[in-house]
Each structure stands twice: as structure tokens, then as C-alpha cells.
Structure 1
Amino acid sequence: MKPSDTLRQDISFVTSNDGTRIACASMGRGPTIVRAARWLTHVSRDPESPVWRHWLAELSSYGHLVRYDLRGCGLSSRDVPEISFEAWLADLEAVTSKLEEPFTLLGMSQGAALSIAYTFRHPERVKRLILFGGYAKGLLSRGQSDRTQIEAATLTNLMRLGWGQDNTAFNQVFTNLFIPDGTQVQHDWWRSLERETASAEVAARTMDVLHKIDVSCIAAELNVPTLVLHARGDRRIPFEQGRALAMTIPGAEFVPLNSNNHVLLETEPAWSVFCSALSGFLGDGIPLAGADAGITTAEREVLVLVAKGLSNPDIAAQLGKSEKTVRNQVSSLLEKTGLSTRSELIVRTLSGPMGQTP
């Protein structure tokens, strides 16, 4: 990937209540979307990642995207005295402490449970809740059978032995839990991220906490518009956990996705379904192109900024692209939508999803 294609972002740090420094990244403009911390992120590397870049492009097209690295991971403090669910919650509170308006909170994987706990504690701060590939109960909280205890202990012990190492059985199994349908390039990126984002000991301590999560009781008490999405073939978190989560939260909308991946990849059909559900749920954001229009994620980034009235030079500066690239993408948008002018493109985007008659 060329450097000019990397999404632009600002990185800063906040201090949690125990002195831990948490690395935060922000991109985009408009209503705020906060992505609660999940595992295997590195805010400085994600914008160029073949696994995460399309997520960032999609989410930041709706507004101001704020995300951060888990304590002990990425650019956040590595040598941390405490790794616990309460500590993670305190970190999220520190990240959001300066946000003045209610925001959309996105929780992926264990970030879903964290988002639920935050919303329960601060209902006035969360405008909407999006939960993807999440669960209310960790592995050991779902039952104390011999099988689950052995599975939990085995995974944690294997982490201490194989985390971040090349050509290990653990490395291959762990990567396949998250992106089994990924390309070799994506698998290699995932493995390199293990080495760069956390030590084996931090990974094992983090996994121990994940196994014991249980927010099922407070999930039933939430009163906020909620969208739950889960891949049917998710190998990391069983589909049944996502469905149970949607059934527990009052009024939650549930969208099953036909994928085997815990992290959706841009090339799979489920990604377009996810984008469509996101567009419908966020409502007051700009309606974006559906899969039928054949518009790419990169073009969608440009489209949302065109609709906001930005010029090609301004769009190029914000997205870190050349003006020629932006000009070509605007031309492609006009061709794909059958429109003739930039003004028509803006009107169609604001009036309804692209590819449909307004």
C-alpha cells in the first residue's frame, strides 16, 4: 500500500485513574463514534492494515472516529500493574471524559461487554450502541465444565509459549480463529501484529480476564438503541453468543452475517451487508452507496466528503491522497451512479442511498 493511501489521523494520550497512559487516535469530522478497545490493535499501524483499514474508512465516513489501544498494548503503557475489566472500564472513561456530546459507542469482541458496562454506568453519554462479534459471558462464565476449564487453560498456556513467534502451531491456530478466510498477506499482517502489539505475558493476562467476563445482568437493564451483528461461522466467538446478546438487550436489532471471520474482510459479501446495516442504524449520517452501485470503500470516503462540500484539494489533504487520485475517484463515482455533475452527486447522496431512485 502506498503511503499516500494511508488514512490520516491524530494520536494523543490520556491518563487513566491509576496513572496508565492510554494511546488514542482520531480521524474524520462530525458526530463522534467511539470504538471501545479490543485486542490486537495498534493505533499507529491500523490505518495501513489490510485487515483494519476498511473498518476505519467506513466508520470515519460517518463522523469523528475515536479509538484507542488497550492497556499493555500498542502505543499505550506496556508495563501495567493491573489488567482487569474494571481497569479497562476506567480507561474508556478516561478516553471519553472530554467528549461534550453523547456519542455512538462501538464494541467489537470483548469491547462489546466493555461497551455494555460503560453504557450501564453512563447512560446519558451513549446515544447509540453497536455491538459486533461480541458476547455477554466469557468462556468460563458460560459454564464450569471440565471441557471449558481445559480449553481456557490450554489457550492461555499456549499464548505464553507461542505468542508472537514465527511458524508455530499456536500462531496458525490463533490467526485462523480471527480471519480464517484471510489472504496470506492478511495472515502475515495479523501475526506481525501479535509481536508488535503486546508481550506474551500481557496477552495471557488479558485472556484470563476475557474468560471471566459476565455482563449479562446489566445488559438486560440497558435502554439505548442497539444494533447487534454477528458472523454465523465466527470461530472466535460462537454465533449463539451474539444471538443471546441481542435477545438480552431490550429492543436490540440483530443482523446475522454470512461469514466465518471474526473480523470482516473488505472483499467478502458480509462486509457490504454490515455497511448497509450500519448506514440504516446511524440514520442521521449521510446515506452511503450500497453494494449494488459497486462503490469501493476508498470511493465511499471521498463521497462523504464531497457531500459535505469539500473541494478536491481539501479532500486530498484530509485523506492523505493526491488531488489526481481524488479527481479520478470523483469521476468514477459519477460514472457508477450515472450522474453528470458534482452537484447532482451531492443531491443524490443527501436524498437517499446511492443506486436507488430518490
Structure 2
Amino acid sequence: MRPIETRYARSGDVRIAYQVVGQGSFDLVFVPGFISNLDLQWEDEGYSRLLKRLSAFSRLILFDKRGTGLSDRVDSRHLPSLETRMDDVRAVMDAAGSGRAAILGASEGAPMAMLFAATYPERTRSLVLYGGYANFHRWVMPPERLEAFIETAETAWGTGATLPNFAPGRIDDPHFSQWWARFERLSASPTAAAALARMNAGVDVRGILSTISAPTLLIHRRNDVRVDPEASRFLARKIPGARLVEIAGRDHPVWTGDVDRVADLIEEFLTGEPAVADTERVLAALLVTRIYDTAKLGDRMWSERSQRFQETWRLLVGRHGGRAAGTHGELMVSRFDGPGRAIRCAAALREAAQQIGVASAQGAHVGEIELRGQPVGLTARVTMQLASHAGRGGILASRLVADLTVGSGLHFTEAGRISLDELDEPLPVVHATSEQPSGTSLPAEGQASRAGDADGAGKRGGEPDRRRKEQRCDRRRAQPQRTHGQASRRQHPAQARPAVAGGGGGVFGQAHWPGRAMRAMALLGEAARRGRALGFSSCRPGGFRREAPANGG
């Protein structure tokens, strides 16, 4: 993607940095949260994904609020009022040639967006508030917690120390943690961060809510770690005609969690049409492999073994028909066309880790991912969390993986359910143990026949051979006779050919007997029902598709 041009708008004596991207039929102004940086935000996968989605149906206007990112700093001794900062929105719209726009306010940007909509109703096409609030101390932080936050900002700013306050679910993601530390440093200085926190603490716009006349959509995560969901419920009661949609998740920033779900809701609200399915997304199986040092090997030996394992990982992933999709520190992500391949590769990687002398834990899941680039979004994050829940040497998979590999010879044991931040319901999971022994995949008749054929090849004639033949005949008489129409192929009655991913992300399978086909269809139906809880509809020619967001969330 070519670099986005950054320009500056004058708001009084302050310069406000802004960008314009997209060529949609209407303008959408994004008012960011606590801190921002116009250049750095494009480097984060989730942030850039959100902005690309929004700019696909609008002319998106982005800016850094005064005191943050590329805009001028504020005097910490003379903090500007909310009205002054709100006027920065008007200045940016004027500079970008926007007479009327939809306003998207996220987190701390929501009070500014609400005040703008109440002050300039003729310039507000509609209003979208994500994770918003009307009073800081009531729904974000009481005074004592605010002081503790400011102390952290003044002593550890730039190290990523504030990440637990905003996105605790991403703490174990080293790539995101490093980006967040840079995000802190390049968005504000420690002094500026403390000043911004004090400015936000004075926010109270409860008195103007009833004057907002623009159509309003409220989006809030049910377990938001920073802003109490009651804040949006209060806004829904006080803003005339406002509609509230609560979504799953705990991490607060709008560009974390299920970004596509947020973008779908915004697009449908602003355009009046359901979001168009993204043809650049396919159904795939993801495998996340995590290695760690339990033997206290020392930096040098651990580095050597880690590098050796990563080389082996790439080799085994390719050997099992997969693609190495990227690494995040000691996390290695690979993608496969079918879940069976992913599980077999995981078993091979577990054995390789034992031979190299490192501990491993792996997670496997099936879901939609980007056709190009590294897997991001809900499917990738769920798979990473499965890997983090897996024990040493364990392969923890979603129950959907087991359902889609029925008849493949893979063996799973139930592991209960685990609660994940971004899912509405606990996720059923299984342990992948081992492949079933080859002898157990054939009925007794097939086993006996093969054993007898092998014996007969070694010895021909004589009394032992005659007795073996008689024993085989007795066993055959004891077997129930096949009825008319049954297949003669010797195969386990519950065994069907394993499902594989087809073109466009679809999943296809074959079963040799009608009964097996019916059982396989029943299993796939159950998998589809479970898939719908993760945002997919049932199988159709061409693959799975994301469900359009239902009215009311």
C-alpha cells in the first residue's frame, strides 16, 4: 500500500495532523481514543485492517488529536477544554473539504464526537460511538485508579507498561507488545500522556446527550477492561433513538479483537446495506506451535535449539502440505488446507521438539483467514490462545477440528470447554492424542484375512496350513452376512475419507456407504452449528461464508 499523505489543519494556534483515504460516497471522520499516531497505526495488522475496511465504503478522514501523534503538543500547565479539542474536528473537516460527515468516536474520542454532534447537527450525518462514555470517573477510572495510572505513565511510559490497562489479551503476543511500546513512545511523551489523562478525567457530557439528533449506533464489548459496558447502556437510554450492540470481547481498543465484526456493524449502519462478504478470505486450518525452555539451558544453547527447531518446523510444515505463515517470538503459525494435515504435522513437530530438547505446546483451529499475508483476526487469536492453554507436549484443538476429521484415523479425547475473551460461549476443545493403530481401522474380517494371507504365503500345504484355512472358514461363517446393496469394500463402518478443503475455502469429503455419508453429514451439521457461534454459516458450494450481522447484534 502506498504511503498516505499527511497534512496539517490549523485550529487556533495549534496544527492538527490529518490524513484522507478512500473514495466513498460520504465522509467518515474517525476521532481516536487516548493516544494515536497517523503513521504508526498503519503498521499494526488489526489497525490497518480496520482502516482499510472503513475506507472501502467511505472517504475516511483520520487525525491525531492535539497533544498526540503528529499534532502539536499541549501546555501541561494550561490544559485545553473539551470544547476547544472538539473544535479540532471542525478544523480538520474544513481543511479536508468536508461539509457534512458521519462521525466515529472511539473510547476517549466518543465524548468529543458527541459534543460535536450536539454543537454542529447540520454537519453531522450520523454518529457511531465505540466503547464510549459520558463521564470519565464514573465509567472509566475513579480518582485513585487515575493517579496510579498517571504514575505508571510518568515512570514506565514507552515500555508498553500500559498494555494491561487496554488490551490484557495481547500481553502474551510479543509482536503486539513491542508495537504497543513504540505506539506509546511515538504518540506522546510521558509528560504529555499524564496531561492527556488529566484532560480526559474532566470529561462529563451527560448534560448534552438529549440534544443529539443524529442517528446513533453504540458498540461496546461486554467485558471491556477499560470502559464499563454500563457506560454505553446509559448512552443508549439518554440519546434519542440510539441503538446499542454489545459484542464479545475484553480488549478495549477498537482495532483489537474481532475487527471485522466492528467494521460490519459500522458499514451496515452507515450504508443501510449488509457488509459484502470478503472474497479475499478463505476457510483454513491454523496450527500455532509454541516452544519454551523448561531446562534452563542458558541463552546460547536455547538460541541454538530454538533456531534448529524453527528450521525443522518449516521443513515439517511443507512436508505435510502446509505453509509457514509467520512467527511471533517463540510462536510459529502455519496454515493448512485441511485440519487432518494440521494435526498430523503437530504430532510430527511434537516428536521433533522432544528430539531437539525443547518443550512444545500447540493449538489447532479452523476458521476464516486472509487469503494473502499472515493470518490475523479472530481465527488466529483463538488458535494462539489454544496453544497457550495446551500443556507441555499437548495438542489442544477446537472440537470443530475433530468433527471435520472424522474417519481420518486421528484420535481425540474430550478436554471440556475453555472461555475465551472474544467468544460469546465457552469453546469445546479436544486433545489430539495419536493416530489410531492401523489394525483398528479394519473390521475383524479384514484383519483375519490379511493375517491368513500372510501366513499362507509363508507356508504352503501341510497340516498347519490346512488348520489355518479351517479357522479362517469358521471365522467367516461367524461373521454376519452382508445384505443386498452393501459395499464389498473392506473398510471400517465408521470410516470415511477425511475432509479436505476445496476451492474457495470449502470443505469436501467422501463416504463409501450411504450410512457413512449420513453420519458424516450429521457430524458436519453439528460442526456448522458450532461454526455459527464463531461467525460462519453452514457449508455451501464454494465454501463457508460469514453471516451478515443480525439486527441488534
TM-score category (smaller protein): 0.7 to 0.9
Report the Cα distance in structure 2 between the residues aligned to 1:63 and 1:89, rounded to whole angstroms. 22
- For the residue of structure 2 that corresponds to 1:124, the secondary structure is helix
2:54 aligns with: 59
What TM-score comes out, normalization by structure 2 length? 0.48
Report the Cα distance in structure 1 between the residues aligned to 2:92 and 2:125, rounded to whole angstroms. 16
5+ residue gaps, structure 2, are 283-367, 373-502, 507-544, 549-553
Equivalent of residue 259 in structure 2, options 255, 271, 275:
271
Choose 1 or 2 for highest CA Rg: 2
Contact 2:103 2:126 in 1 (8 A): yes
Report the Cα distance in structure 2 between the residues aligned to 1:122 and 1:248, rounded to whole angstroms. 19
Equivalent of residue 93 in structure 2, options 89, 92, 96:
96
1:129 aligns with: 127
Matched, 1:255 2:250: no
Root mean square deviation of aligned Cα: 2.9
1:39 aligns with: 34
> Which has the larger displacement, 286-295 or 89-98?
286-295
Report the Cα distance in structure 1 between the residues aligned to 2:148 and 2:91, rounded to whole angstroms. 34
2:224 aligns with: 234
- For the residue of structure 1 that corresponds to 2:23, the secondary structure is coil
| Gap change, CA 1:285 and 1:102, over 3 Å in 2 | farther
As a proportion of its length, which structure holds more strand? 2
Report the Cα distance in structure 1 between the residues aligned to 2:61 and 2:369, rounded to whole angstroms. 23
Shift of 1:148: 2.4
5+ residue gaps, structure 1, are 1-5, 300-333, 338-352
Quick one: percent identity of the two aligned structures?
25
Instruction: List structure 1 segments (4+ residues) > 6 angstroms apart after TM superposition.
Output: 290-293, 353-356
Amino acid at match of 2:104: L
| Gap change, CA 1:224 and 1:29, over 3 Å in 2 | same
Report the Cα distance in structure 2 between the residues aligned to 1:162 and 1:86, rounded to whole angstroms. 31
| Gap change, CA 1:285 and 1:91, over 3 Å in 2 | farther
Amino acid at match of 2:94: S
1:110 aligns with: 108
- Which protein, 1 or 2, shows the higher relative CO under an 8 Å CA cutoff with sep ≥ 6? 1
- For the residue of structure 2 that corresponds to 1:276, the secondary structure is helix
Report the Cα distance in structure 2 between the residues aligned to 1:33 and 1:229, rounded to whole angstroms. 16
CA deviation digits over 1:129-187, x for unaligned, max 9? 00001101111x669xxx922222222233222222x3xxxx43x20222222222112
Shift of 1:46: 1.4
2:312 aligns with: none
How do residues 1-358 of structure 1 correspond to structure 2 at under 5 angstroms?
6=1, 8-17=3-12, 19-30=13-24, 31-78=26-73, 80=75, 82-98=79-95, 99-139=97-137, 148-164=142-158, 166=159, 171-172=160-161, 174-182=162-170, 183-264=173-254, 268=257, 270-283=258-271, 287-289=275-277, 294=282, 335=504
- For the residue of structure 2 that corresponds to 1:242, the secondary structure is helix
CA deviation digits over 1:187-210, x for unaligned, max 9? 211111111111111111110111
Shift of 1:292: 12
Contact 2:79 2:199 in 1 (8 A): no
Report the Cα distance in structure 1 between the residues aligned to 2:252 and 2:130, rounded to whole angstroms. 9
Report the Cα distance in structure 1 between the residues aligned to 2:71 and 2:143, rounded to whole angstroms. 31
Report the Cα distance in structure 1 between the residues aligned to 2:371 and 2:216, rounded to whole angstroms. 27
- For the residue of structure 1 that corresponds to 2:129, the secondary structure is strand
| Gap change, CA 1:151 and 1:291, over 3 Å in 2 | farther
Length, aligned pairs only: 289
Amino acid at match of 2:240: P
Contact 1:293 1:354 in 2 (8 A): no
Contact 2:166 2:225 in 1 (8 A): yes
| Gap change, CA 1:125 and 1:265, over 3 Å in 2 | closer
